[in-house]
Amino acid sequence: MRPSTERKIIRWVHIILSIPVVGYIYGPVATIPRAAFAVQWIFFPIIVLSGFWLWKGQWIKKRL
């Protein structure tokens, strides 16, 4: 896979999974137990890891 394609995919995953976090902060998602669990333990860690990969992915690839 080309690096530009990989970066586009990771960027879109990062953007799409950020939408439920906005709903958690500003909407009623925090009051729905299953949705709150998904945002806290599934979506948010993926967002953090994808953001970190977009930021430092080249450095990590070079080190490995």
Per-domain residue ranges for the chain?
9-57
Q: How confident is the model at residue 1, as a pLDDT? A: 87
Gap between the Cα atoms of 36 and 63, Å rounded = 36
Q: How confident is the model at residue 41, as a pLDDT? A: 97
Gap between the Cα atoms of 9 and 26, Å rounded = 26
Q: Which residues of the chain have pLDDT under 70?
A: none
Q: Is the pTM of this model over 0.75?
A: yes
